[in-house]
Structure 1
Amino acid sequence: MHTADPLHSATRISTADEAVIRTLYLEHGGPLLGFALRLTGGDRAWAEDVVQETLLRAWRHPEALDPGRGSVRGWLCTVARNVVIDVGRARRARPPETGDAVLATVPDEGAEAEFDRAVLAWDVADAMAALSPEHRAVLLETYYRGSSVADAAKTLGVPEGTVKSRTYYALRALRVALEERGLVP
C-alpha cells in the first residue's frame, strides 16, 4: 500500500479517531513526508509508507499526542526515524530483494546461443573421445585443422587412400557416438 493517507489502512477506526488522524495528517503530513523522504534517500513510495505507519502508531498511542508531553511533530519525526531504522534492520536480516540490476546479468539470446554452442562442443568432444585413436586423429586433421587429404596423409604418415577410408568410417562412428548421446535424430 503506497499511499500517505492513513485512512486507507486495513484497520477500522471510529469517526472520532478518524478526525484526530485526519487533523494530524493535515497539520504534520507534509513536513513528515519531507522528513521521511530525506530518511529514505528520496524513495517516495517508501517515504509514504513511513508516514502511514507513523500515523498508525500515533493512532495506537494517543497518549503521545498530548501537547503537555512535548512536541507532537517531534514525536512523529522520532517515530518515522524508528520506522526507517526498523525497515533497514529487517532488510539486512533477510536476503536482499532483487531489482532490475539482477536482470542485467541474465544472458541475452546471443549469450544463450553461445552457451548452447559451448555445450554442444563439449558433447562433440566427449563423442570424439569415444572414437579409436586413428579415427580421432584423422578427423582432427581433416575437419578441425582443415588439412587436405594429402597434408593429412603426410602428417599422419599413412597413404591418402587410408585417410579417405578412415575419414569415412570415423564419421560413421562419430555419428553413432552422437546418437548415443541424443545429439543426432
Structure 2
Amino acid sequence: MAALWSRKRETAADEALIRSLYEEHGRALLAYATRLTGDRAAAEDVVQETLVRAWRHPEALVNGKGSVRGWLLTVTRNLVTDRIRAKAARPREVAESPATPPVQRDHADSVVDSVVVLEALDRLSSDHRDVLMEIYFRGRSVTEAAEALGVPPGTVKSRSHYALRALRETFGGQQVALKGVAG
C-alpha cells in the first residue's frame, strides 16, 4: 500500500512539474516552435513532445548545466529538425487530382487515340502523311524533313499546314493527338 501511495505522490509531483514548466515556458516554446515550423498546429505538437521529454528526463532540468528554458528550447529545436529531416527522407504524398493524375493509369484511351490517328493519317495523301511522319513522329526539323524528302523547306511547311488542317477537319475541330500539334 505504501508503494502505491508513493507512486501517486510521484505522479502528482510529475504533473505539477509539467504544469509549472508549461505555465512558465509554454508561451515562449510555442512562439519559438511556431517560428521554426510556420504551422501553429505542428508547433503545438512539438511543444507537447518537448514537455513529454522534460517529464521523462527531469534530471536534465535540475542538473545545474544551464537554464531550464535553454534546455527546453534546445529540445524544441531538435524536435523540429527531426521532423524536417523525416519529411525530407520520405517521398511527399500527393493527392490525386486533374493536375496530378494517378500513378497507374489505364492506357486504353491512348491506344484508342493512336489507332484513330493512324487511321486518319491513312486517309491523307502520301505527300502530306510523309511530311507529318518526318516532323512529328521522327522529330525532325523542317530543314531535316525537307532534306529527307527531297523537297524545299517551304513545301514541307505548306504540306504540314494542309495535312494538319485535313486532320482537324477529320476530327471535327477536336485536339489532334499528334505530339506537338495544337488542335
State the TM-score, normalized to the length of structure 1: 0.50
Amino acid at match of 1:97: E
- CA deviation map 1:25-79 (0-9, x unaligned): 1111111000111111x21111111101111110111011117332111110011
Q: Say if 2:68 is the partner of 1:76.
A: no
Matched, 1:56 2:52: yes
CA RMSD of aligned residues (A): 3.3
Which residue of structure 1 lines up, in the alignment, with residue 114 of structure 2?
122
Give the one of 8, 14, 19 matched to 1:17.
14
**One-letter amino acid of the structure 1 residue matched with residue 68 of structure 2:** V
User: Percent of aligned positions with the same letter in both sequences?
Assistant: 59
Q: Classify 1:95/1:81 alpha carbon distance in 2 versus 1 (closer, same or farther; 3 Å).
A: same
Gaps of 5+ in 2: 1-9, 102-107, 126-183
User: What corresponds to 1:105 in structure 2?
Assistant: 99
TM-score, normalised to structure 2, is 0.51
Q: 1:104 to 1:122 in 2, by over 3 A?
A: closer
* C-alpha distance in 1 between matches for 2:111 and 2:100: 18
Once superposed, which parts of structure 1, at least 4 consecutive aligned residues long, lie more than 4 Å away?
none
- Structure 1's unaligned 5+ residue stretches are 1-12, 108-114, 130-135, 142-185
Question: Which structure has more RCO (C-alpha within 8 Å, separation ≥ 6)?
Answer: 1
For these two proteins, the number of residue pairs brought into alignment is 112
Give 3-state SS (helix, strand or coil) of 1:105's partner: coil
Residue 46 of structure 1 aligns to which amino acid in structure 2? A
